[in-house]
Copies of this chain bind each other. A is one copy, B any other.
Amino acid sequence: MSRIVSLEVSDVRFPTSRQLDGSDAMNPDPDYSTAYVVLRTDDGPDGHGFAFTIGRGNDVQCAAISLLTSQVVGRDVDALCSALGEFSRELSADSQLRWLGPEKGVVHMAAGAVVNAAWDLAAKRAGKPLWQLLAEMPPEQLVDLVDWRYLGDALTRQEALELLRGAEPGRAERIRQLHRAGYPAYTTTPGWLGYDDAKLARLCRQAVLDGYDLIKLKVGGDVEHDVRRLAIAREAVGSDVRIAIDANQRWDVDEAIRWLERLAPFDPWWIEEPTSPDDVLGHAAIRRAVTPMRVATGEHVHNRVMFKQLLQAGAIDVLQLDATRVAGINENVAVLLLAAKFGVPVCPHAGGVGLCELVQHLSMFDYVAVSGSMDGRAIEHVDHLHEHFVDPVRMTSNRYLPPWKPGMSAEIRHDSRLRFQYPGGAAWEVAS
């Protein structure tokens, strides 16, 4: 019998702010970081997971993960891996820790990191990449993964079961299709606010050469600046390539509507995070005003209850789930089911460090077993920091190829973890 013998947490930060990679209107100088967790077992592979943060506070995120140690260490691995729904509900149910959220912020992301590490472990033990492990589960098992509390007025367990059963017939063919052609991606690489106009134009042209038909630009700092950059980008990519824009929560509702009137002539495909991620009604009002421009959000949407409302209120055209903001794979299964019920495509947030690696599993699972479709869907791709992963994303021009190694691709190379350990790692010693 195998047991979890330890839960190890480490603070791993990449000094990305030195190059202004990842700079946007709300986050001028992120240091992409992970509060990294390893579930060690006594006889087999370990489970790896993390919460993604952008620097300061990553130590507090690590401390929050450590609080879950006693709920994990000592567990029987087989029992854990065969009841991940129950496990994830238990992790979120500690009433004293729940008070610090509830189901949001640091404690919720801590649960997500540990839940994801358990899934990495489960997939490694099953000898399958996570997307495939999920995609081959019977509908009855999949609905058991979800915490149904607070969802009943939008989606019941029974409705989810029917939805999953409806998608069962084509599963095998869709798995073959994934292996043949991969999953569509879009790129944010050209569009960071900290890049100058020449770099913007060059990276836009390169994105087209790479075969992308959807790119994304950061906006929201200064409207004249945005108009100029969008003109440069539109000129560089031509009229057939879609340009999404991302304001990173900078605007009030009325301000968003006025600002977007100025940008509309450049035909943005979607406006992402126009205002506070908490503002369901605000997103709905913006959407009504800017249609046919699409409204997208999700990377800061903290749990299934908020996604439920965004869908109920008709507030979004594109749902951008995040792999580490919510309580892990289980809550994201709920989000995928909600999106399918409301017919809203999921285009996951990625970039940062390791988010591309994680979300590809969710999108591929969604394609095979939930929505059954790639229409209107694409996974964000940013070409940063993949070299630190044991099983990095594999791209063919503009598409993600399905991971084939067992696990959820969360594992950061051991040497990278040592080098970027904060504050003691070599990468940080050089800086100070």
Q: Which residues of A contact B (CB under 8 A)?
A: 26-31, 53-57, 59-61, 63-64, 67, 94-109, 149-153, 249, 252-255, 275-282, 285, 300, 302-303, 305-306, 308-309, 312-313
In the complex, 8 of the A-B residue pairs with CB atoms within 8 angstroms, ordered by the A residue number, are A30-B99, A31-B96, A55-B99, A57-B100, A100-B109, A102-B277, A150-B253, A281-B309
Tell whether, in the assembled complex, residue B98 and residue A278 are in contact, meaning their CB atoms are under 8 Å apart.
no
Q: How far is the CA of A100 from the CA of B112 in the complex (A)?
A: 13
Tell whether, in the assembled complex, residue A57 and residue B105 are in contact, meaning their CB atoms are under 8 Å apart.
no
* Seed contacts A57-B107, A102-B276; 7 additional CB < 8 Å A-B pairs: A27-B95, A31-B96, A53-B100, A60-B60, A150-B275, A151-B252, A280-B309
Q: In chain B, what residue has the closest Cβ to A281?
A: B309
Enumerate the 7 nearest inter-chain pairs by beta-carbon distance, A residue then B residue, closest first: A105-B105, A56-B96, A55-B96, A153-B253, A152-B252, A106-B106, A278-B305
Q: How far is the CA of A152 from the CA of B255 in the complex (A)?
A: 9
Tell whether, in the assembled complex, residue B150 and residue A106 are in contact, meaning their CB atoms are under 8 Å apart.
no
* Contacts A149-B252, A152-B253 given; does A56 touch B94 at CB 8 Å: yes
Complex partner residue of A150 from B55, B105, B150, B282, CB under 8 angstroms = B282
Q: How far is the CA of A153 from the CA of B279 in the complex (A)?
A: 11
Which chain B positions have C-beta within 8 A of A101? 104-105
Q: How far is the CA of A92 from the CA of B142 in the complex (A)?
A: 39
Q: How far is the CA of A30 from the CA of B97 in the complex (A)?
A: 10
Complex partner residue of A107 from B31, B95, B105, B309, CB under 8 angstroms = B105
Q: How far is the CA of A125 from the CA of B205 in the complex (A)?
A: 61
